[in-house]
Chain A
Amino acid sequence: MKKDISIKVCMGTGGIAAGGVEVMSSFEKALAGAGIKAAVQKNCSMHKVGCRGFCARDVLVDVTINGTKATYQYIKADMVERIVADHIVGGAPVDEWLVKDDYHTFHDKQVKVVLSDCGEVDPEDIDSYISRGGYEATKKVLTTMTPQETIDVIKASGLRGRGGAGFPTGVKWDMAIKAPGPVKYLICNADEGDPGAFMDRSVVEGNPHAVLEGMIIGAYAIGAPYGYVYIRAEYPLAVERLHLAIKQAKERGFLGKKILGKDLDFDIKVKLGAGAFVCGEETALIASIEGKRGQPRAKPPFPVQKGLWGYPTIINNVETLANVPYIMRKGAAWYAGMGTEKSKGTKVFALTGKILNSGLIEVPMGIPLKEVIYDIGGGIEGGRKLKAVQTGGPSGGCIPSSMADTTLDYESLGKVGSIMGSGGMVVLDETDCMVNIAKYFLEFTKSESCGKCIPCRVGTKRLLEILTRITEGKGREGDIDLLETLSSDVKTSSLCGLGQSAPNPVLSTIRYYRDEYEAHIRDKRCPAGVCKDLLTYSIIAEACKGCTACTRVCPTGAITGEKKKPHVLNQDLCIKCGACFETCKFKAIRKV
């Protein structure tokens, strides 16, 4: 019996959190125990792989025997023995643990470019990347193309910056090659700070060499001898794999002096960010690398004119750079063939919120939002109704369910008052209060404002205070107008992108859900039943069976009553925690 066996265990941050390390070592033990390692030797391989997107199902394990792949979900260490016995030794996959149809629908409408090797390659092994075509793009570019030709390919591909603003990458590189300066820098922005976003982290964790390759090609194109990866210190696994990848790339001559024997020197330093969201803004990022306080400065001069240490500097997002090797390998026309007229290629989103299948997805630009929600995402949790989708994180806005036909591209999202942003996508359902959502994002921007400029520093604080008082039932007539004018002034007068976009969640929720704001202010009512101060819990006597379940969970003893008789709830004691509401099996607790 000669078998080719390959086992891939998801070891992204999600996989590790779910027990990936234990699963991996159980496999090692079980394989050794069954004598398989000894029997098939080299043909039995075990790999840790990066995130493949479906973190909710971790630990995910691929078992491929003689080319036939079976994927298991929710695997724990104690399940491994049976997989080895039944499947690997016995040849019969453990059906009940295999992924079901929904795993495939999750993937069907996705098109993977940036993530195409994530979940397939071993991120800690450069050979694994090379065996799937890795570094071919580098060789092709360095040996057959001029810098200008390289830039022209990127231009023709239509690739736009994935860090938020969507600036055409080729145009940016073109400005850099033309910028005079004795030295130039290329910086990869891996500061990913939006709440809920983990696109860039997954790419660096799952396929760090693609990012490095993008940087090497970029460095060749613009003539930069030095590169930096500015990455959050809160991403320890990504940082570790990045260091390892740089070391391996150096050993193979893809980094360092005379790369591939050509006239290209390029070295990469890793710089850890201390966790300020604003340091993702390019001028703040540069200040931070220079050892200064991480706060933005006014542009012009733009980094491409005067960047790091005063020299021309290009800053690109992780995902932008990770696209580059694939574009160089497969051609501009291939890439431009995906997407819409002005938004080419694919985009990675972190799909979260009240969605059934949350995770990391990559879709072609221009895909309708509803396909993402219902096909890939599998619809709303608990069969509830979709209310809105928030895109673009704290800089973005909400798209109401009535606009679920909106396509995901820079232009369409802008038209409905949201943005593509870096790829956060939070699905909201009828149990979400839109005032509360706006408040949530303002809480974030208020505490992440660097404080340099007045409108952002004080303005976001005041916006948050107004939103807070509305959710507490202390809103007053005129507050909506005040929110709108202050939002518009903060947007207009702030120095950097943070302040200029921080009011977006407020404006977009007012635009589509003004009635919800009005209900809070005028009727002191939260229609979604979220804002605690506006809720009243009471017992519906006719429905109450007197089971006493609620009396036992109420932390303040606000509910009393005899067994089998309707209970009563003392409003003076109720702290509106909702424990009774959650507990009652007879729907006898009313929440209004």
Chain B
Amino acid sequence: MIKIIINGKQIKVQPDTTILDAARRNDIYIPTICDDPRLEPYGGCRLCLVQIKGMPRLVSACTTPVTEGMEVETTNDQIERQRRTIVELLLSDHPNDCMVCEKAGDCTLQELAYFYDLRANRFYGERRQYTKKDLNPFIQRDMEKCILCGKCVRVCEEVQGVGAIDISSRGFTAKVTPPFEKDLDCEFCGQCVSLCPTGALMGKEALGRGRQKDVRKVETICPYCGCGCNLTLHVNRDEVVSVSSRPDTVNEGWLCVKGRFGYNFIKSPDRLKTPLIKKDGVFVEASWDEAFQYVADRLIAIKEKNGPDAIAGLSSARCTNEENYLFQKFIRAGIGTNNVDHCARY
């Protein structure tokens, strides 16, 4: 363990941590935009600048490893002045239309502007203007709101291993884009959407379906596959408007396209609500009792005529473990055959 001092407070940390990690673990707030503990440090936004005693320059807390005896100051007039200027510069190149922005209420930039009380801006000038042309069904990319924190690029490369996007061009004209500035054509896992600190990346299904304050969060497990990722449903007036996942879960907050964006089936009119039994070549709605009775009668009849091995059971990964356990028990003990399988295998 290494001993360091942050804001006059003695703390002990692991040798390989950064100043930012150390501060977070000890509940010391340092503003950040480009950092995510699950990604490699980037050092791009410069908001996390801190002063180390004896160092001539401010350093970024997210990239600087702690060393024995280091004395760190996370805030002072000089540091806050830098941070304020950085946020002001960002706002000088931003649509600033929080009133109609989907992200309002959950936006890092908005929060920083509020924190630094930036009503007026000393800077103004040209603003990047891009036409939106995303034809994909899942992700809206509004690159005028992008602050180039690079999180989307890094998560896509480092976590998802896809590399569907990168930063092209330089300086003020730099922008995040799929190859050759074409439409996004990727896995649509939405990892990037989940990390974007602003309204630059939004799930299309969620657009216009209610402000953050009206959203109720409901924790659940993804029904799609046996991985069982944790989901947080964002519910407004009994409708799931979007889905997220917390970083402190088994799946560390990462989801796939189905878990993140495939929630509209819940209210789909095509969704089956009663069992159907085929009569004279057409499916007809039936009651549960009727359906169970029909299935039981047929299974008994087949077993009596052709023996238990004429029957096989195939279960679904969308069932819970308990349901799958019961199912194989039913097939093995109830029917008396080992012909049982599952899309993720028993």
**CB atoms of B81 and A489 under 8 A apart:** yes
Residue of B nearest to A468 (CB): B125
Residue of A nearest to B147 (CB): A454
Among B78, B126, B171, chain A packs the most CB atoms within 10 A around the CB of B171
Q: In the complex, which of the residues B41, B45, B59, B89 contacts A459, with contact meaning CB atoms closer than 8 Å?
A: B89
Task: Assess whether A543 is interfacial by the CB under 8 Å rule.
Answer: no
In the complex, per-residue mask of A270-305: 1 if CB is within 8 Å of any chain B CB, else 0: 000000101000000000000001010110100000
Q: In the complex, which of the residues A300, A451, A465 contacts B171, with contact meaning CB atoms closer than 8 Å?
A: A451
**CB atoms of A455 and B46 under 8 A apart:** yes
In the complex, per-residue mask of A512-545: 1 if CB is within 8 Å of any chain B CB, else 0: 0000000000000000000000000000000000
Task: Assess whether A460 is interfacial by the CB under 8 Å rule.
Answer: yes
**CB atoms of A461 and B147 under 8 A apart:** no
> Within B72-88, which residues are at the interface with A (CB < 8 Å)?
78, 81-82, 85-86
For residue A48, give the distance in angstroms from its CB to the closest CB of chain B. Answer: 37
A486→B124 CA distance, assembly (Å): 13
Task: Assess whether B166 is interfacial by the CB under 8 Å rule.
Answer: yes
**CB atoms of B57 and A492 under 8 A apart:** yes
**CB atoms of A453 and B123 under 8 A apart:** no
Task: Assess whether B267 is interfacial by the CB under 8 Å rule.
Answer: no
Given the contacts A448-B170, A450-B171, A461-B171, A298 and B92 also touching, CB distance less than 8 Å: no
Given the contacts A449-B170, A449-B172, A454-B46, A486 and B123 also touching, CB distance less than 8 Å: yes
A451→B143 CA distance, assembly (Å): 14
Q: Which residues of A contact B167 (CB under 8 A)?
A: 293, 295, 451
In the complex, per-residue mask of A488-513: 1 if CB is within 8 Å of any chain B CB, else 0: 01001111000000000000000000
Q: Which residues of A contact B173 (CB under 8 A)?
A: 451
Residue of A nearest to B63 (CB): A298
> Within A175-201, which residues are at the interface with B (CB < 8 Å)?
none
**CB atoms of B86 and A493 under 8 A apart:** yes
For residue B197, give the distance in angstroms from its CB to the closest CB of chain A. Answer: 12
Task: Assess whether B93 is interfacial by the CB under 8 Å rule.
Answer: yes
Q: In the complex, which of the residues B58, B63, B81, B171 contacts A457, with contact meaning CB atoms closer than 8 Å?
A: B171
Residue of B nearest to A451 (CB): B174
Among A278, A297, A454, chain B packs the most CB atoms within 10 A around the CB of A454
> Within B25-50, which residues are at the interface with A (CB < 8 Å)?
41, 43-46, 49
A449→B173 CA distance, assembly (Å): 10
Chain B interface SS verdict (over half): loop
Given the contacts A455-B46, A457-B171, A494-B46, A462 and B89 also touching, CB distance less than 8 Å: yes
For residue A13, give the distance in angstroms from its CB to the closest CB of chain B. Answer: 26
**CB atoms of B171 and A449 under 8 A apart:** yes
Among B44, B90, B125, B170, chain A packs the most CB atoms within 10 A around the CB of B170
Q: Which residues of B contact A278 (CB under 8 A)?
A: 170
**CB atoms of A461 and B125 under 8 A apart:** yes
Task: Assess whether A384 is interfacial by the CB under 8 Å rule.
Answer: no
Task: Assess whether B10 is interfacial by the CB under 8 Å rule.
Answer: no
**CB atoms of A451 and B126 under 8 A apart:** no
**CB atoms of A453 and B43 under 8 A apart:** yes
> Within B214-270, which residues are at the interface with A (CB < 8 Å)?
none
**CB atoms of B170 and A451 under 8 A apart:** yes
Chain A interface SS verdict (over half): helix
**CB atoms of B92 and A458 under 8 A apart:** yes
> Within B109-126, which residues are at the interface with A (CB < 8 Å)?
122-123, 125-126
Task: Assess whether B131 is interfacial by the CB under 8 Å rule.
Answer: no
A495→B41 CA distance, assembly (Å): 13
Q: In the complex, which of the residues A300, A489, A495 contacts B65, with contact meaning CB atoms closer than 8 Å?
A: A300
Task: Assess whether B64 is interfacial by the CB under 8 Å rule.
Answer: yes
**CB atoms of A298 and B90 under 8 A apart:** no
Residue of A nearest to B150 (CB): A452
Task: Assess whether B60 is interfacial by the CB under 8 Å rule.
Answer: yes
Among B86, B126, B173, chain A packs the most CB atoms within 10 A around the CB of B86
**CB atoms of A451 and B148 under 8 A apart:** yes
Task: Assess whether B306 is interfacial by the CB under 8 Å rule.
Answer: no
> Within B161-202, which residues are at the interface with A (CB < 8 Å)?
166-167, 169-174
> Within A450-482, which residues are at the interface with B (CB < 8 Å)?
450-462, 465, 482
Task: Assess whether A105 is interfacial by the CB under 8 Å rule.
Answer: no
In the complex, per-residue mask of A432-456: 1 if CB is within 8 Å of any chain B CB, else 0: 0000000000000011111111111
Q: In the complex, which of the residues A276, A293, A455, A457 contacts B166, with contact meaning CB atoms closer than 8 Å?
A: A293
Residue of B nearest to A276 (CB): B170
Q: Which residues of B contact A293 (CB under 8 A)?
A: 166-167
A494→B89 CA distance, assembly (Å): 13
**CB atoms of A495 and B44 under 8 A apart:** yes
Among A446, A451, A453, chain B packs the most CB atoms within 10 A around the CB of A451
Residue of A nearest to B172 (CB): A461
Residue of B nearest to A490 (CB): B85
**CB atoms of B170 and A297 under 8 A apart:** no
A278→B172 CA distance, assembly (Å): 14
**CB atoms of B86 and A447 under 8 A apart:** no
A456→B44 CA distance, assembly (Å): 10
Q: In the complex, which of the residues B49, B126, B171 contacts A493, with contact meaning CB atoms closer than 8 Å?
A: B49
Q: Which residues of B contact A451 (CB under 8 A)?
A: 148, 167, 169-174
**CB atoms of A458 and B126 under 8 A apart:** no
**CB atoms of B45 and A454 under 8 A apart:** yes
**CB atoms of A486 and B85 under 8 A apart:** yes
Q: Which residues of B contact A298 (CB under 8 A)?
A: 41, 43, 59-60, 63-64
In the complex, per-residue mask of A97-123: 1 if CB is within 8 Å of any chain B CB, else 0: 000000000000000000000000000
For residue A229, give the distance in angstroms from its CB to the closest CB of chain B. Answer: 24
Q: Which residues of A contact B78 (CB under 8 A)?
A: 492
A485→B85 CA distance, assembly (Å): 9
Q: Which residues of B contact A276 (CB under 8 A)?
A: 170
**CB atoms of A300 and B44 under 8 A apart:** no
Residue of A nearest to B166 (CB): A293
Residue of B nearest to A462 (CB): B123
Residue of A nearest to B86 (CB): A454
For residue B342, give the distance in angstroms from its CB to the closest CB of chain A. Answer: 43
**CB atoms of B46 and A457 under 8 A apart:** no
**CB atoms of A453 and B45 under 8 A apart:** yes
**CB atoms of B172 and A465 under 8 A apart:** no
For residue A350, give the distance in angstroms from its CB to the closest CB of chain B. Answer: 24
For residue A173, give the distance in angstroms from its CB to the closest CB of chain B. Answer: 24
A465→B127 CA distance, assembly (Å): 12
A297→B77 CA distance, assembly (Å): 26
Given the contacts A450-B174, A454-B90, A461 and B126 also touching, CB distance less than 8 Å: yes
Among B78, B85, B166, chain A packs the most CB atoms within 10 A around the CB of B85
For residue A347, give the distance in angstroms from its CB to the closest CB of chain B. Answer: 25
A459→B87 CA distance, assembly (Å): 11
**CB atoms of A465 and B169 under 8 A apart:** no
Q: In the complex, which of the residues A449, A460, A492 contacts B82, with contact meaning CB atoms closer than 8 Å?
A: A492
Residue of B nearest to A482 (CB): B122
For residue B65, give the distance in angstroms from its CB to the closest CB of chain A. Answer: 7
A448→B169 CA distance, assembly (Å): 10
**CB atoms of B58 and A493 under 8 A apart:** yes
**CB atoms of B85 and A453 under 8 A apart:** no
Q: Which residues of A contact B90 (CB under 8 A)?
A: 454, 458
For residue A288, give the distance in angstroms from its CB to the closest CB of chain B. Answer: 13
Q: In the complex, which of the residues A449, A455, A461 contacts B85, with contact meaning CB atoms closer than 8 Å?
A: A455
**CB atoms of A493 and B174 under 8 A apart:** no
Given the contacts A455-B85, A493-B49, A495-B60, A297 and B43 also touching, CB distance less than 8 Å: yes
Q: Which residues of A contact B148 (CB under 8 A)?
A: 451-452, 454, 457
Q: Which residues of B contact A492 (CB under 8 A)?
A: 49, 57-58, 78, 82
**CB atoms of B82 and A493 under 8 A apart:** yes
**CB atoms of A462 and B92 under 8 A apart:** yes
List, sorted by A's number, 19 A–B pairs whose CB atoms are closer than 8 Å: A298-B43, A298-B63, A300-B64, A449-B170, A451-B169, A451-B171, A452-B44, A452-B148, A453-B45, A454-B44, A455-B82, A455-B89, A458-B123, A461-B171, A465-B125, A485-B85, A493-B58, A493-B82, A495-B43
User: Which 8 interchain pairs have the tightest Cβ spacing?
Assistant: A451-B174, A298-B43, A298-B63, A449-B171, A458-B89, A465-B125, A489-B85, A493-B82
Since A446-B172, A458-B172, A492-B49 are in contact, a sample of 8 more A-B pairs with Cβ atoms closer than 8 Å, ordered by chain A residue number, is A297-B43, A300-B65, A454-B90, A486-B85, A489-B82, A492-B57, A495-B44, A495-B46
